[in-house]
């Protein structure tokens, strides 16, 4: 069977599933398709399907039947209760941890194959009834022989083939869209599918997930905001892994959170801080934060702590993207639309020939009516969607590296609004972004970079005298060569004077740079040695550096005055 024929069969299956669950009726509710509504009566399943089920149930059942990629799509949608009808959002929430499980016999077979021994040799007790079942894997509780309570995560059998089949279909859709739609080309669908594929492939290797979990745990070690379970590395394999069992409340179980006395407003704000800390401090963020992966600890109800699971999909940004993103958000918070437009062009998110003033005007037209409302009533997700629609006129391209970040940000807002409807994402995030920007772009950032580079400078410092001697030798030889070639003695004298001035200026400049480096090195050494004079010496060297730099400036000034 050829690859194209398999894709055709899969596409036919998708259409049959949608028709069997009556989702073709939803399409015909669109105004311009309403006249063709009579076609639904030609659907053979229209007369036999369960008409007592709600539309939300039909959508959930369709996604479950279509497989993991579609289930993940439903998981993302379920966090956006401000964008979906309540009945559909409630049904899609079941996709987060109640996907139909696969038989425990298959789970046992996979575990024994991965560990090369029987279940009883690894675990004192293994529960055949799954604790949770998701689109890619399911989880069983167990007890190790040394008494530790753990959970065992096992990949679904045959999941690799299913995902690669659907990814190939998505690539086909993306190619067709780019070929026939100018708007789709701007969205760069093939790059987005490639990014999605990369993350899904990472989910198919539980060793990768174990490593990501350990990294996130290390980033938030002893943090009151987030707890990440421990990984048992001897049992971390490609298709099965063992981790610490945690005791927490699902973040979307509002009733249980209230019974436990959890401070919901503080919990919602802590979630925003956790997100921005992962993105801007650590540059390593959990990119699959749907409610099935997030729990709340009951230990400190007044300042509740999150518990993060399922670190199969993680994201990161380049330093340039982080800086532009932070500055964009801050400018947006302050309604500085001109700066937002400038940053879009500077970052390359808009073509270089874009008229900044025109884009600024378009942003203002969209945002001013939105900002006339109280900030707590403004959906960040809705605002992004409207801005995205506006950007079409300016040929703005989707940045694939930001897709996961945008998705995670929308998830965070959805979770936060569910916990605390009055959550103001704008004012909660602004102080954090302002603090990060000051630390990254201000004097502290300069000092930190100097200290980070100090070992390199210390290694290069002994070579500076030789480099200075070589440079000055070349500068001195230059006027002599020019004099020998000059026929005019006056011009030669002027050149010698000019080169003499340059020589003094360059010498002072080299000395200034050398002393500045030495000041940075000695300042950093106070962290490594106990010399009492080191801090004072660094200030002396810094003063000498400034004096040498000032001398270079005065030489230039005197030369210009003579002219």
Please give the positions annotated as active site: 288
Task: Single out the residue of 155, 352, 148, 119 nearest to residue 238, CA to CA.
Answer: 155
Q: Let me know: does 214 contact 227? Beta carbons within 8 Å.
A: no
Q: In three state form, how does the secondary structure of 454-512 look? A: HHHHHHHHHHHHHHHHHHHHHHHHHHHHHHHHCCCHHHHHHHHHHHHHHHHHHHHHHHH
Q: How far apart (Å, rounded) are the C-alpha atoms in residues 489 and 340?
A: 59
Question: 307 - beta bridge partners?
Answer: 227, 295
Q: Residue 268, Cβ neighbours under 10 Å: how many?
A: 25
Lateral strand order in the sheet of 306-308: 226-227, 306-308, 294-296, 249-250
CA angle 70, 76, 82 (to 5 degrees): 130
Distances (CA, A) of 533 to 459, 518, 539: 21, 14, 10
Cα dihedral 342, 347, 353, 359, rounded to 10, equals: -40
Q: How far apart (Å, rounded) are the C-alpha atoms in residues 168 and 289?
A: 26
User: Two tokens at 45?
Assistant: 């399943």
| DSSP strand pairing (149-155 vs 137-144) | antiparallel
What are the φ and ψ backbone dihedral angles of 278, each rounded to 5 degrees?
Answer: -60, -40
User: Two tokens at 331?
Assistant: 């400018």
């Amino acid at each position: 069977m050829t690859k194209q024929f398999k894709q055709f069969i899969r596409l036919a299956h998708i259409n049959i599933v949608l028709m069997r669950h009556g989702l073709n009726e939803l399409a015909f509710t669109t105004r311009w398709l309403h006249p063709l509504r009579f076609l639904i009566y030609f659907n053979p399943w229209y007369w036999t399907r369960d008409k007592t089920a709600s539309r939300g149930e039909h959508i959930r059942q369709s996604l479950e039947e279509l497989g993991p990629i579609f289930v993940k799509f439903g998981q993302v949608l379920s966090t956006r209760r401000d964008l979906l009808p309540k009945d559909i959002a409630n049904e899609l929430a079941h996709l987060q941890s109640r996907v139909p499980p696969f038989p425990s016999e298959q789970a046992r077979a996979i575990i024994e194959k991965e560990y090369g021994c029987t279940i009883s040799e690894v675990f004192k007790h293994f529960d055949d009834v799954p604790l949770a079942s998701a689109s890619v894997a399911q989880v069983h509780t167990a007890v190790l022989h040394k008494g530790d309570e753990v959970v065992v995560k096992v990949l679904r059998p045959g999941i690799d083939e299913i995902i690669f089949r659907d990814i190939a279909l998505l690539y086909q859709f993306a190619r067709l869209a780019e070929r026939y739609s100018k708007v789709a080309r701007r969205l760069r669908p093939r790059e987005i599918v490639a990014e999605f594929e990369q993350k899904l492939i990472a989910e198919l290797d539980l060793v990768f997930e174990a490593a990501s979990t350990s990294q996130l745990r290390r980033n938030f070690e002893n943090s009151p905001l987030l707890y990440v379970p421990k990984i048992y590395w001897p049992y971390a394999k490609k298709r099965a892994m063992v981790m610490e069992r945690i005791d927490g409340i699902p973040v979307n179980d509002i009733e249980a959170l209230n019974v436990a006395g959890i401070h919901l407003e503080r919990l919602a704000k802590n979630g925003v801080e956790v997100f921005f800390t992962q993105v801007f401090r650590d540059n390593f963020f959990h990119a699959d934060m749907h409610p099935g992966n997030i729990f709340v600890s009951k230990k400190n109800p007044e300042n509740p702590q999150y518990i993060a699971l399922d670190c199969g999909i993680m994201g990161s940004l380049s330093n340039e993207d982080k800086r532009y993103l932070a500055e964009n958000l801050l400018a947006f918070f302050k309604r500085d639309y001109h700066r937002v437009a400038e940053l879009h062009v500077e970052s390359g998110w808009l073509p270089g020939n874009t008229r900044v003033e025109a884009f600024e005007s378009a942003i203002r037209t969209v945002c001013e009516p939105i900002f006339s409302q109280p900030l707590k009533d403004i959906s960040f997700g809705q605002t992004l969607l409207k801005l995205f629609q506006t950007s079409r006129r300016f040929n703005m391209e989707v940045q694939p590296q930001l897709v996961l970040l945008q998705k995670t940000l929308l998830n965070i807002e959805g979770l936060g609004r569910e916990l605390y409807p009055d959550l103001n994402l704008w004012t909660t995030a602004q102080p954090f972004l302002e603090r990060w920007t000051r630390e990254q772009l201000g004097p502290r950032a300069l000092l930190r970079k100097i200290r980070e580079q100090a070992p390199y400078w210390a290694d290069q410092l002994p070579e500076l005298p030789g480099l200075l001697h070589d440079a000055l030798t070349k500068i001195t030889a230059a006027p002599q060569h020019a004099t020998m070639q000059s026929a005019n003695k006056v011009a030669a004298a002027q050149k010698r004077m000019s080169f003499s001035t340059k020589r003094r200026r360059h010498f002072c400049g080299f000395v200034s740079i050398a002393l500045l480096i030495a000041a940075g090195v000695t300042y950093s050494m106070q962290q490594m040695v106990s010399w009492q004079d080191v801090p004072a010496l660094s200030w002396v060297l810094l003063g000498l550096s400034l004096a040498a730099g000032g001398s270079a400036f005065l030489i230039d000034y005197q030369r210009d005055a003579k002219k």
